[in-house]
Each structure stands twice: as structure tokens, then as C-alpha cells.
Structure 1
């Protein structure tokens, strides 16, 4: 049973076995509160605490062998304890998360409670009408994920393209930065000089970052994206703007083997804001549920309201907005080997590419951003040279003879 014990220092509680005697009670006080037996004076009379020395007050100490229940003491009763030593007693009441910075005596209103929670709403539709992926670029990405990696690990890339007046995102080029992938994790090395060079070259061609693409490893799951993937999507959307998208590539197994499947999504605008504000709890294991925590009120257990119910987590699907997925034939080639893959790019790659497209005008043969990005890393060409080459590609103009000689020399033709 539990006995409440009031002393001059505060209110405390003692846990006892049912049927405990006064002696057992006193020993428990000594063990749990640190008050020696010889200092304890215990009574049911509150006058004990105001008397000078407890004289004239009926004490339970006089009935040490008697069970507490025989003296009328039952579970939850309040007794009084007097002693001479100095002690510090922890407050019996501990402020809850809703009491922080609240003046004494003020009331907790429903508005106070709601202010510490975030109502999570579904977004009706994406901010773009759809995503159209250049066929050659899409094929180059999925073929590597399928043939080289067998969808055994995750792989990702940054999408460059345009957003048209029809509000459709058109992906023309995928830059694959250095990265580390596993079945559950994907770490892209961002902000590298190579990525800055890709930004420059794509910009000359009138392209900008419009999102990213990644493939999931071929493992059983019962969700579309994990919490970690959702947070990565929100980070990309925060970086690249509200019109940026995520393209998800998966392996769809069937009786005939399987097919590669492309899907396009955006995060809801609220998901992006929740990510920026630090509401997502990092996941320990991949899951289709995101744990949520109010970063300003971390002790609030159910920090969100979902479908009019208090909750501590949100189904990731709640944050997703599906986009129509289309394809098109863009203005660029995608036959040059892609950067940062297992097989490196080389001068022989350039030679094979130029021969393969020998029927095209020279500037059109160079209309492959993977090739241009590799050329930009060659010591024979500086930024000004690359600007002139890419402008000729953009305008489909005749390339200066000097640049042809340099490029042919690099290729060994």
C-alpha cells in the first residue's frame, strides 16, 4: 500500500507491503527517505508539525508491533512525520509540458494545448501538373540500377531541366554525384566542384535543378517511401523550390521476372516546413511512419493532430502528392558514360561517342552533358573555352576549328 507522509519539509510517499507493521513503516522511512529511526515521530494528528517538540501528541511510535491497518491506517492515508535533522524534499508536483512559463494560478485552456501541437493536413494536389522525363536520360539511369546494381542498393542523381508554362517539369539530364548507397541508406556528396560545373554547363543550356531521382533497393516493404526518404525529399524541395520533384525508380517483380517502375512525387508544403522546423524524429529503422516531436516543446508526447486525433506519428503517405509521369525526347544525347560510376569515363569513351554520332554536325555530337562535364575536367580546356563550346551546342552553330582539333586530340582521333 501507499502512505502519504507530510513533514515540515514537504509531502512524500512511502510504498509498503499490505499488512505492514509500524516498525516496518519506520524502517521503510529510514530506507526510502533517509530519516533515522531514533529521530522519527509519527502521528495521524497534524498538530505534530506545529508543536514545539511533539509533546502531548499521540504517536504511532508507541505501537511498533501493531499492524498499521489495526490502527486505522489504510492505503492512501496521510500521516505526519516530525524530525530534527535538515532535509531537502523534492516537490510532490512536477510541472508538466503545458505548464512551462505559465504564471502561477493561471488556467490551461484548450488554446494553450493546441498551440503546442501542429495540425497535419493533407495537400489536395501537387504544385506541378506532372513530370516528363527524357527517355534516353531515364533509360541511362534505370539501366544502371537494373543491370549493374541489380537494384541491390540505392542510387540517386540530381535532375536538371525546365518548368514549362503548362506547369510540367521536364527532366533533360541527370547528374550522378559521388555517393554511398546501401539497401537502406543513400548519401549524395553535394556541393562539390563537379556539381558547380554541372550547374554552370546546364545553366548555359537554359536548364536548372528541378528535383532528384533515386532508386530503392529491391527488398520487401509495405510503404512507398520511408521516413528518411521523405525527409530527403523535403530537403531537396526546400533547396530547389516548390516546383521541384522527386522521381522514384523501383523494381516491380512479377511472374515474368519484373519491370522497372517510375513514379513522381512532391512533398506537401507542410512537410517541407515541418522538416525545416525540426519536427521529424530521425528514424532508427526504415519505416512508413514518421515520428513527430515539437522541437520547442519536446515533452509533449502527442505533438500532432492527424484527422482530428492527437498523435505522435504520421503515415508518410499523408505527406505525399503524386504527380503524373510522362516521357519525351529532349534536345540532348545521353549516350556518353555517366560520371562517378563503377566504370570510369575516358578518352576512349569520347572517341567511341564521336564515331557513333559521326553523321551529326560536330556541335550536335557534343550535345551530351555527361560528355561536356567530362571535357570541362580536362586540362586542355578552361571555363571560357567550355562557355564557347556549350554556346555552340545550344545554338547548334558551327564549332570553331581550333576546338575541334583540341577535342579530337583528346579523343585520339
Structure 2
């Protein structure tokens, strides 16, 4: 005979002989479930589990006398008996999740429940993004001039997030990276990025997204699967208003070509799918993103798109365009930028300082890339020294004379 036992901790099952008595049932429970016999109260009344007073529980001891057989008391195979004991236990679930192959012997409701419906998101969390024009121009000039849009190039955006989802970008940090016509990998988590984060924080800035260029290699899609996955990763890391800027070469009105800026986000659902491990790598760049349900890896059509069971989704389905503006901020971008083919050294530092010789010293240092360069130089690499310089730039205050002498000596002025 199978008896189902319901306690406050869950549902359990035990097998006993058909002629088992109440006393034998209690002994079997004690031996099988490690519950002391003196602590066991059994009843066919569910109220036993909600009764909190010991004296009141006596009225629910309806499985008696101890020598009576369960059959005599009317219990049959599969019946439910309520059990109380004065402590907590860990009860393993009686039924485990089904391990049957996806789609086999399922009701329509079960099938739908196991599929994910890809839906468009109406509006982005980022209402608009405004780029500091010097920073944007410095980025696109290098890509158009030195690289001729032949390979992809990227950077991290530092700025601020305003009310209503309006993002402001004031600096673009270009980490060490590997780019080809189809793919781009930024080196993240480096010591240099940590210094860039430090400078940005002292300037009142934070990471607000990233930017990348697309090569002139022909494509019939806006965003590739790899790019969509990278966008989802950025939003997961930097927050729901994090934005992606895309720079490409587009035809101009005069018949030539010019750099074209666009901004996007991916949907919240895309971010969630990326976090859960749904996105699959592509053998070749494509605007179609293959998906695999990590919980049902054998499913051939794990998602529903536009009412169809499929295993991939067009990246356009995940994109949300963001309007772009521009502004002029307090930071310049004329000092040679890090991790490029162009040199950064004493000569470049000297030229930069000489160009702005008529300005206060703090204004001469008001360039994100210059500050990052100085943060790596002997005598200025300490966080305390860097903090003094950045705080002076941020406040427009006087730079201590000792630091001016160090910087001038680095430039051999």
C-alpha cells in the first residue's frame, strides 16, 4: 500500500504492507524519514497542519487505536495522510522535472510554455544620446583616415545619464583591441581601463555605452549577430540606458562618402536571452542570430517569431533606434589617443602644451586622453597624484606648481 504523507515541509511517499496497523505506520515513518515516534501526529484532517496549539492538536488524532489496521480505518492505496512534527525538515520533491525530449508527448499548453516568444520592444530606455563633437570627430577621423574603414574599431563611452533616459557622451576611450572587417574584440578589464575609470569618476563621468565602426565590406543587414550579442552584453554590464553608437561610411549628397553615425539599443528580452546563454556564434557574419534554449538544447525550434516556430531571429527584431545629438563639452580630444598606430610621447606632449600656452594650466590639461597618458608616467601614476590633477581640471582650479614642473619636465619644456 502506498501512503502519501503531507507535512508543512512537503509531500512524501512511503510503502507499507496492506495489513499495516497505525502503530506500525508510525514506526515505519520514524525509521524511513528519521522523525521520532513521539513527535509524530497523524490525521486525515488538513487542519492538523495549521493548528498551532499542542492541546488543540489532540482533536485531530483520528488515526487510532494504535493496533487498528489502516484498511479497517478506511485508508486505501494512494490515500493522503497529514503529518505534524514540531520542527523543520528538508523534503525532496516527489516529482522531478520531466526529462523528456522537447516536443514529445506534450499538450499544446506545455509546448507553448516551453517556447519563448520573441517580441518587439516599442521604445528604448535611452531616449537620446548627445556626443561631444570633438570626441566624435577624433574617433571618426582616425577610422576614415588611418584605417579607411577597412577594419572595425571600437571604444567605450564615458558620460552621464540624465533624466528621462537622455545620455550625454563626453569622452571616448579606445582600449587595446583586435579588429577585422567582420569582427571586433576589445580588451577589457585592463590596468589602463581601471585608470580610465578613475579619471572619468573624478570628472563626474561614468560608462554609458560603447561605439564601433563597420567596415566597407558589403553587408545586407544593419547589425550582425555578433554585434547584437556585444550590445546585449554592454547593456547588461552598464545598465538599461547604455547605448551603442555605430559609425559607417555612407554616400554623401555630393556623390562622395562620409562617416554616418547611428545609435541603437537592443531590447530587454535580448539582454535576458544573452544572460541566459541563448545566443550562438555565427560561422559567417549575418543579420540572423541563431538561438538555442540552454535548458532544452535539443529543441530544433525553441522560439516563436511572428507566429512561426524557428531557431533564429533577425537582429532587426531586437533593435531600437536612438536619436543622436551633439554638444561641446569641457574636455578636448586633440592629444594623440591611446592604443592607436599614432605615437604618444614627449614630443606630442610638448606640442600639446605649446598649442595651449596662453591658457591656464588646468585648461591645457583638459583632455581625457592626455590625462590618461599622464596617469601612466613616472611621478604621476599614483592615484593620489592623478586625483590632484583631475580634480584641478574638473574644477578649473590651479594646478600645484610641483605637478606643473613634473609635467613640463616630461615634455622637456
TM-score (norm 1): 0.74
Structure 1 residues 25-76: Cα deviation after superposition (integer angstroms, max 9, x where no partner)? xxxxxxxxxxxxxxxxxxxxxxxxxxxxxxxxxxxxxxxxxxxxxxxxxxxx
Answer whether contact 1:116 1:300 (CA < 8 A) is retained. no
Q: How does 1:108-147 map to 2 (within 5 A)?
A: 108-147=106-145
Structure 1 residues 287-312: Cα deviation after superposition (integer angstroms, max 9, x where no partner)? 01111111111121111111222111
Is residue 409 from structure 1 mapped to residue 404 from structure 2 by the alignment?
no
Q: Which residue of 2 aligns with 1:35?
A: none
Q: How does 1:114-193 map to 2 (within 5 A)?
A: 114-193=112-191
Deviation at 1:354, TM superposition (A): 0.8
Alignment match of 1:246 (pick from 231, 241, 244): 244
Q: Distance in 1 between matches of 2:146 and 2:164?
A: 36
Deviation at 1:357, TM superposition (A): 1.2
TM-score (norm 2): 0.74
Structure 1 residues 210-233: Cα deviation after superposition (integer angstroms, max 9, x where no partner)? 000000011111111100110011
Q: Which residue of 1 aligns with 2:85?
A: none
Q: Distance in 2 between matches of 1:281 and 1:180?
A: 21
Q: Distance in 1 between matches of 2:278 and 2:383?
A: 43
Answer whether contact 1:116 1:294 (CA < 8 A) is retained. no
Q: Distance in 2 between matches of 1:329 and 1:359?
A: 21
Structure 1 residues 255-303: Cα deviation after superposition (integer angstroms, max 9, x where no partner)? 6220110000001010000011111121100001111111111121111
Deviation at 1:136, TM superposition (A): 0.2
Q: Which residue of 1 aligns with 2:33?
A: none
Q: Distance in 2 between matches of 1:393 and 1:140?
A: 21
Q: Distance in 2 between matches of 1:124 and 1:205?
A: 34
Q: Which residue of 2 aligns with 1:272?
A: 271
Q: How does 1:187-226 map to 2 (within 5 A)?
A: 187-226=185-224
Structure 2: gaps (5+ residues): 1-99
Deviation at 1:241, TM superposition (A): 0.8
SS at match of 1:262: strand
Is residue 398 from structure 1 mapped to residue 402 from structure 2 by the alignment?
no
Q: Distance in 2 between matches of 1:209 and 1:296?
A: 33
Deviation at 1:166, TM superposition (A): 4.2
Q: Which residue of 1 aligns with 2:337?
A: 338
Answer whether contact 1:252 1:261 (CA < 8 A) is retained. yes
Q: Which residue of 2 aligns with 1:308?
A: 307
Q: Distance in 1 between matches of 2:163 and 2:400?
A: 35
Is residue 371 from structure 1 mapped to residue 346 from structure 2 by the alignment?
no
Q: Distance in 2 between matches of 1:166 and 1:368?
A: 28
Alignment match of 1:98 (pick from 103, 114, 124): 103
Larger Rg: 1
Deviation at 1:331, TM superposition (A): 1.1
Runs of 4+ in 1 over 3 A off after TM superposition: none
SS at match of 2:230: helix
Answer whether contact 1:155 1:181 (CA < 8 A) is retained. yes
Answer whether contact 1:392 1:399 (CA < 8 A) is retained. yes
Q: Distance in 1 between matches of 2:164 and 2:366?
A: 26
Aligned length: 313
Q: Distance in 2 between matches of 1:166 and 1:114?
A: 36
Q: Distance in 2 between matches of 1:359 and 1:326?
A: 31
* CA RMSD after TM alignment: 1.4
